[in-house]
């Protein structure tokens, strides 16, 4: 009987077996309902899918249809058109919970947050004259609004929706209030990012916080990745990594329990030094920090 159930379960959740003559039954069939052992494919929402790193995460998930069902969240029609994700891409304002309802409709298993405020150079800067450019943030797009309140809104929405894991991509440098990035446009961007990371770590939702180093537009999957804590990697010569590697780590974090409820800095050795990282379970196992 056990063997028959196992064989039938491979084909459908409900089936009928012949009645056993030894048990004294007459001819006919007994129906047994068996729940399929195949787990449903998790749905992953990528917030910030229109960004350079976010789009890589979205594309990688789309390529792994046997493992994930991908959705994207962008802030404009233009971003949606660039991604070309069709009905799987939603438009929403992360500072307005009501605009996120469609993206979360029907249930989301995991959320990957890659949203970030982006400083812009003030008009009139001429690099040929030397000097340093001045930066500003557009109205409604300051780090406090995007990196703190916007991420808080996403975390709260995810919690209400029963999301099982959140992967949040931040930046190294958050332990230093005087970090140069905080002075750009007087936005204090790393301070607000750090505040959102702490909020997530205390939310009760299983999480993975990835504080990436300097992002490179280079080939991924060919470098040895490094994890650290408290900005220790910033004091070394290995404080950057390709965006594609950050994207891959986001996806791998969804696959291993060793990545849950952890926060770490992420960088890589220069290309050609060391062996390309393939064992992500071991990489995550090196991390012991919760925040």
The enclosing domain of 59 has a CATH number of: 3.40.50.720
Q: What is the pLDDT of residue 4?
A: 41
The verdict on residue 207 lying in a domain is yes
Q: What are phi and psi of 15, to 5 degrees?
A: -160, 170
Q: What is the pLDDT of residue 40?
A: 87
The verdict on residue 156 lying in a domain is yes
The verdict on residue 4 lying in a domain is no
The verdict on residue 124 lying in a domain is no
Q: Which residues contact 206 (CB under 8 A, 6 or more apart)?
A: 164, 165, 166, 260, 261
Q: What is the pLDDT of residue 70?
A: 97
Q: How far is CA 264 from CA 56, 169, 209, 271, in A?
A: 20, 10, 6, 21
Q: What is the pLDDT of residue 124?
A: 82
Q: What is the mean pLDDT of each run of 10 residues along the chain (291 residues)?
A: 40 41 47 55 97 97 96 94 89 94 95 96 83 90 97 97 97 95 96 98 98 97 97 94 98 98 98 96 97 95
The verdict on residue 226 lying in a domain is yes
The verdict on residue 237 lying in a domain is yes
Q: What is the pLDDT of residue 189?
A: 98
Output the pTM of the full model. 0.85
Q: What is the pLDDT of residue 17?
A: 42
Q: What is the pLDDT of residue 6?
A: 41
Q: What is the pLDDT of residue 129?
A: 80
Q: Are 266 and 210 spatial neighbours (Cβ–Cβ below 8 Å)?
A: yes
The verdict on residue 57 lying in a domain is yes
The verdict on residue 121 lying in a domain is no
Q: Tell me the residue range of the domain where 272 lies.
A: 43-116+147-176+198-286
How many domains does the chain divide into? 1
The catalytic site residues sit at 171
């Amino acid at each position: 009987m056990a063997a028959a159930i196992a064989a039938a379960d491979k084909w459908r959740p409900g089936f009928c077996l012949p009645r056993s003559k030894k048990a004294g039954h007459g001819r006919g069939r007994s129906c047994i309902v068996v729940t399929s052992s195949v787990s449903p494919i998790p749905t992953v929402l990528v917030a910030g899918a229109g960004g350079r790193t976010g789009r890589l995460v979205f594309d990688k998930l789309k390529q792994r249809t046997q493992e994930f069902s991908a959705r994207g969240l962008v802030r404009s029609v233009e971003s949606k058109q660039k991604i070309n994700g069709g009905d799987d891409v939603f438009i929403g304002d992360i500072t307005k919970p009501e605009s996120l309802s469609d993206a979360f409709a029907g249930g989301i298993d995991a959320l990957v947050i890659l949203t970030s405020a982006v400083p812009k150079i003030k008009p009139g800067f001429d690099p040929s004259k030397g000097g340093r450019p001045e930066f500003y943030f557009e109205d409604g797009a300051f780090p406090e609004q995007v990196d703190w309140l916007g991420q808080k809104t996403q975390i709260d929405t995810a919690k209400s929706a029963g999301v099982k894991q959140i992967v949040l991509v931040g930046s190294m440098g958050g332990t230093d209030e005087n970090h140069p990035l905080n002075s750009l446009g007087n936005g204090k961007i790393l301070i607000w990012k750090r505040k959102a990371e702490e909020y997530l770590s205390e939310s009760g939702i299983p999480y993975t916080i990835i504080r990436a180093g300097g992002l490179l537009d280079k080939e991924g999957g060919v470098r040895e990745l490094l994890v650290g804590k408290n900005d220790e990697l910033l004091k070394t010569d290995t404080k950057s990594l390709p965006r594609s590697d950050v994207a891959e780590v986001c996806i791998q974090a969804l696959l291993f329990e060793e990545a849950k409820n952890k926060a770490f800095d992420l960088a890589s050795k220069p290309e050609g030094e060391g062996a390309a990282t393939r064992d992500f379970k071991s990489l995550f196992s090196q991390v012991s920090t919760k925040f």
